[in-house]
Amino acid sequence: MVKKKKMKDLSDLGGMVFSTDPNYTPEEEEVNEESVDPSQQTLYVSYDKKQRKGKVVTLVEGFEGPESELIELGKHLKQRCGAGGSVKDGEVIVQGNFVTKVMDILLKKGFNVKKKGG
């Protein structure tokens, strides 16, 4: 039995589904970004609570590579910290103050890590 992926919105359909324009030609998708080796990347980990109603979050910035890999990294970090969070604007946001734990996890994955801020 094949399990179907649940659609969240129309963008999950993969672009144009139907067009009444007789001159419509589908646009070619851009080539995906290539993966960058973790040892060639420097990620910046910081603690933030500005404009978050006083809630504390851990930010991971500086990731280079495809969005899908960033989402996987964010998922892994949230699972290991046992916290919620999200991936927005090229940043991984983990709810709570997990700066040292996130830095350790990223070092084990082979990334160069620097602490940003105080």
pLDDT in tens, 68-115: 999 999 999 999 999 999 999 999 999 999 999 999 999 999 999 999
The pLDDT tens digits for 36-63 are 888 899 999 999 988 888 899 999 999 9
Question: What architecture is domain 38-115?
Answer: 2-Layer Sandwich (3.30)
Q: Is the pLDDT of residue 31 over 60?
A: no
CB < 8 Å & 24+ apart, contacts of 82-89: 85/57
pLDDT at 54: 86
> Residues, the chain, total?
118
Per-domain boundaries in the chain: 38-115
pLDDT at 60: 95
Sheet containing strand 57-61, strands side by side: 85-88, 91-95, 57-61, 42-48, 112-115
Q: For residues 21 and 45, which has the higher predicted lDDT (pLDDT)?
A: 45
- What value does the mean pLDDT of the chain take? 85
